[in-house]
Every structure is written in structure tokens, then in C-alpha cells.
């Protein structure tokens, strides 16, 4: 504190004494250090909250990417199935010309082809909305990119799913929610230490210089060392300490609860990813080949006059359905992988 002013002014206004004084208090505790630690903990908590938002934004972008990729694969799958249904129409017409089938077979096959074409066109139109969702998740205005010409590369192959223990270890290091909870505990601890240090005595140093213009006056100096001891407010001090201790206990409980919830989230996400991989492999290696073989057998039998058009259409529908299910299963693996990445904090690598 820097002060200055008149020290003494005589009634006859013949001269005056002035005062220039410097006063400084020195805490005898680490109260200022504890307050700094408290603010630093608050800053770490805010930074961790920002990291949470970043991870959520990355997850939204990943899921939007997979949705668009899956939609493109669905469109391609339907397009790939169109020749199969066209072939059924051609065979129905050939049998009609040969007199081994009625005109109703042609109508049934043509209706199936028209329905599949309509589904294909509808999917292509709906793709625009999926593109807009992907661009928005990346912070790009949909008007800045032609949705028709946006083509995506296939997502990278899913690596081997690590064991739970490894995933837990990675999450303990990377999940910002844990860092935020820990920062809350540290902020409460620092607040408690600051409250305990609030009423510790302070040392006081005071230096002064008092010049004079009075006749016969002599300039003087002043030096003072003292101790400031708080005598009131102890009840408030005790309340502040109790509040900080309660916040610390609550913070530790919250951190423990947060960790249990993260472990549950990882376990569920890992199981879901493993199940999705099993489903994809079953469709890819078992169900699809059988549906393909069944459709080919029925087609060959119908071509030779041994099956009805209803059997042919049912077999083709089953094959098309399995193909679409496989594409959805492939996309589901990538979605579950994205959710597991979010659960562990962004990546599987253990390196910080």
C-alpha cells in the first residue's frame, strides 16, 4: 500500500509536514499458493470439459461417416441385384414364349424389378440428407460441396479387439472425464488448505518518510515491523473449511463413480463390437453363400420349367435381403468400433 498526504498543517499555515508511506503485508502461510493451486485446478477442469466436447464431436463425425458409407454400400448392393431380377424377367418372358408359363409370371417378375428400382432411386435421393449430416459434423456447410459427387473410401479394417484390462488401462489415462473429476478433487483440496491458511497471522512492514516545511522542522523517517493477528471470523473460517472438506469427499466419490461407469461403458462397447464382428462373419461366410446357392438353384430350375415364379422371386428376395443385411452388419462393426474408441478416450494405443 502506498500512501501520501499532509501529516500536520498549523493554524497559521506557516509550513506543513507531509507523509509518504509504504506498507506491505506478508502472509505467514501458503494461502496465496493454495489459491493459485485452486485456480489451476479449475482451469484443468475446464480444459478437460473441452476435451470431452472434442471426443463427442469426433464420435459424431465417425458415426456420420459410417452412416454415409453404409448408405452408399446399400445403394451399390441394390444396384448389384438389379441384373438378377432383370434376368428373372427375361426368363419369365422366354418361358411365356415357349408356352411353359403364363403372362402372370412376367407381370410378377416385372413388378419385382420395378419395386427394386424404386427402392434404389429412393435410396439415392435420401443419401443427400446423410451427406448433410456428415458435413455438419465436420463443420462444413452442405452447400459448399456437391453431395452427388462425394465419394468415401472404405473405413480401415478393425484391428483385433484388445482385452478389457488393456482397454481399462488406456481409458484411465485418456478419458477426460476422469481428469475433470480429479481436477474437482484437487480444487476442493486447495480450497480447504486456503481456508485453513486464511486466519494465520500476517507480518507487516511499514516504511515512511515525513518531510517538513515548517520553520525549524526536521525531516523524519519511520520504520515499523508488526504482526497482524485475526481475532474475529473464526466461525466463518471453520465453515469454509468444512465446506471444502465436504466438496473433497463428494469429488472423490464422484471420481470413483465416474470410473465405474466408464468401466461399464467399455465392457458393454467391447461386447457389442465382438458380437457385431461375429454377426458380420456369419453373414459373410455362411448365410450369404447359402442364399446365393439357393437363388442360383431356383433360377436354374425355373429356367428349365421346374419351379414357380413365386419360388424364384422368394429366393431372389432372400438373397437381396441377405446382401443388405451384410452391408448393415459391416457398417454396424464400424459403428461399434467408434463407440468403443469413445469409451476408451479416442484410441487403443497405450502411448500417451
**216-236 in b/e burial notation, b at 16+ Cβ within 10 A?**
eeeeeeeeeeeeeeeeeeeee
Could you list the pLDDT tens digit for every one of the 352 residues in the chain?
888 887 666 666 667 777 888 988 777 778 888 889 989 999 999 999 999 999 999 999 999 999 999 999 999 999 999 999 999 999 999 999 988 889 999 999 999 999 999 999 999 888 888 888 888 888 887 776 666 677 888 888 887 888 999 999 999 999 999 999 999 999 999 988 888 777 777 888 989 888 887 777 788 888 888 887 776 555 666 777 888 889 899 999 999 999 999 999 999 999 999 999 999 999 999 999 999 999 999 999 999 888 899 999 999 999 999 999 999 999 999 999 999 999 999 876 543 3
Taking the alpha carbons at both ends of the chain, their separation in whole angstroms is: 48
Distance CA 294, CA 184 (A): 62
Helix (H) or strand (E) holding 7: strand 2-8
Q: Residue 27 is placed in which grid cell?
A: 502472509
Amino acid at each position: 500500500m502506498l500512501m501520501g498526504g499532509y501529516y500536520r498543517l498549523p493554524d497559521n499555515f506557516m509550513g506543513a509536514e507531509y507523509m509518504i508511506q509504504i506498507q506491505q503485508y506478508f502472509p505467514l502461510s501458503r494461502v496465496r499458493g493454495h489459491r493459485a493451486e485452486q485456480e489451476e485446478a479449475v482451469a484443468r477442469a475446464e480444459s478437460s470439459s473441452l476435451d470431452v466436447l472434442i471426443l463427442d464431436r469426433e464420435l459424431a463425425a465417425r458415426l456420420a461417416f459410417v452412416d454415409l458409407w453404409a448408405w452408399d454400400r446399400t445403394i451399390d448392393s441394390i444396384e448389384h441385384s438389379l441384373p438378377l431380377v432383370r434376368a428373372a424377367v427375361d426368363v419369365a418372358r422366354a418361358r411365356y414364349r415357349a408356352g411353359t408359363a403364363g403372362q402372370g409370371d412376367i407381370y410378377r417378375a416385372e413388378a419385382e424389378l420395378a419395386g427394386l428400382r424404386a427402392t434404389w432411386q429412393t435410396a439415392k435421393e435420401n443419401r443427400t440428407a446423410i451427406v448433410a449430416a456428415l458435413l455438419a459434423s465436420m463443420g462444413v456447410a452442405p452447400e459448399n460441396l456437391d453431395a452427388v459427387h462425394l465419394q468415401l473410401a472404405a473405413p480401415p479394417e478393425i484391428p483385433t479387439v484388445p482385452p478389457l484390462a488393456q482397454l481399462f488401462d488406456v481409458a484411465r489415462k485418456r478419458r477426460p472425464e476422469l481428469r475433470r473429476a480429479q481436477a474437482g478433487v484437487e480444487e476442493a483440496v486447495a480450497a480447504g488448505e486456503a481456508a485453513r491458511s486464511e486466519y494465520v497471522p500476517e507480518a507487516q512492514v511499514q516504511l515512511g518518510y515525513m518531510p517538513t516545511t515548517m520553520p525549524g522542522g526536521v525531516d523524519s523517517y519511520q520504520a515499523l515491523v508488526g504482526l497482524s493477528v485475526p481475532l474475529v471470523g473464526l466461525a466463518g473460517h471453520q465453515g469454509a473449511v468444512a465446506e471444502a472438506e465436504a466438496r473433497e469427499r463428494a469429488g472423490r466419490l464422484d471420481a470413483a463413480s465416474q470410473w465405474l461407469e466408464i468401466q461399464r461403458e467399455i465392457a458393454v462397447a467391447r461386447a457389442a463390437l465382438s458380437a457385431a464382428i461375429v454377426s458380420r462373419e456369419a453373414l459373410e461366410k455362411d448365410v450369404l453363400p447359402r442364399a446365393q446357392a439357393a437363388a442360383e438353384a431356383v433360377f436354374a430350375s425355373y429356367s428349365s420349367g421346374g419351379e414357380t415364379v413365386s419360388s424364384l422371386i422368394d429366393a431372389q428376395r432372400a438373397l437381396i435381403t441377405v446382401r443388405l443385411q451384410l452391408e448393415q452388419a459391416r457398417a454396424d462393426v464400424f459403428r461399434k468400433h467408434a463407440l468403443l474408441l469413445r469409451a476408451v478416450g479416442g484410441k487403443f494405443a497405450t502411448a500417451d
